[in-house]
Amino acid sequence: MLEPLQDEFMRRAIAEMTLIGIAGGALGCWVVLYRLSYAAESLAHSIFPGLVLAAIAGAPLLLGGAPAVIVAALAIAMAARARGVSREVAVGVVVTTLFGLGVLLALSPDSPPGIQEVLFGDILGPSDGDLAAAAALAALVAVALLALHGRLLAAGFDRGAARSLGAAPAATEAALLVLLGLAIVVAVQGLGNLLVVAVFVGPAAVARQLSDRIGPMIAIAVATAILAGLAGLYLSYYAGTAGGASVALAIVAAYLLSLPAAHLRSLPRRENRAPAEATIS
């Protein structure tokens, strides 16, 4: 268990995965509760052209991903304004178009040899800048979610009464999406464009199976993200598998393991309802 910790690259990978897990687990709970999982995947895939352009130019991926998020959001908003086009259709068209453009750029002769890292990430080789960005992301998410906690609760659980409590549902959801976009841009450098959404949905889905309260949900999601990240990195170290893919696989395994626990947790509720239903009938 301690052998991988003797290597500098593993210690740095664990540090980055822990920081991303903190941000992804906490933010992911609100993503799941607001039913924005598809939006998370859409944002991740929509920034692919920006990431490829940054890789071709030899610039940090962060510089390509940040403006790409803005372009994707504006394109989705404009497409959704067309008559007869639902939001889901607009998102699907924009995501397909942008991801296809990114693939064309990635297959161009000017693409560098390591362009596959944009798709699958390089969690085992974080730079000092990657670690600093992950630490800043974890701090920003923690501060922002604490500041927005009341509004997120009001808008998420009772949109009708949220306005009377001073929480505008549209503005609150927009703030959540901005946070999500920033988080994806930072995390994509380690986990890649195809796998980054796993850390924002999987741990929160596990927590949703095991708790109905937001506080315990966030704690479970963060712990799941960190432990799954460690398990994935250890699997990569000993089995020689890709780091980002191993982390995503560990997150999926955690979700599958949570299903029996969720079933056992629901049994007392069913037993309590059964006598009441029998009495009513």
Q: Tell me, what's the pLDDT at 280? A: 42
**Residue 36 phi, psi (nearest 5):** -110, 20
CATH number assigned to the domain comprising residue 213: 1.10.3470.10
Note down pLDDT in tens along the chain; length 281 residues: 777 788 888 899 999 999 999 999 999 999 998 888 887 888 888 888 888 888 888 887 778 888 888 787 777 667 666 677 677 777 788 888 888 888 888 887 777 766 667 777 778 888 888 899 999 999 999 999 999 888 888 776 766 666 666 667 777 877 888 888 888 888 887 887 778 889 999 999 999 999 888 899 999 999 999 999 999 999 988 988 888 889 999 999 999 999 888 777 766 665 555 554 444 44
Residue 141, pLDDT score: 93
Number of independent structural domains in the chain: 1
Has residue 158 been placed in a domain? yes
- 278 in a domain, yes or no? no
pLDDT at 50: 87
Residue 280 covered by a domain: no
Cα–Cα distances in angstroms (integers) from residue 188 to residues 45, 88, 133, 197, 270, in the given order = 10, 23, 11, 9, 42
pLDDT, residue 222, reads 96
Task: Return the pLDDT at 276.
Answer: 47
- Domain of residue 16, residue span: 3-266
Dihedral of alpha carbons 137, 15, 62, 223, sign: negative
Do the domain assignments include residue 273?
no
Inter-helix orientation angle 8-33/214-239, to 10°: 140
Q: So what's the pLDDT on residue 278? A: 47
- Classify burial at 161, counting beta carbons within 10 Å of its beta carbon; exposed 0-12, middle 13-18, buried 19 or more: exposed
User: In this structure, is residue 276 part of a structural domain?
Assistant: no
Residue 272 lies in a domain: no
pTM of the predicted structure, to 2 decimals? 0.81
Is 55 a member of any domain?
Answer: yes
109 lies in some domain: yes
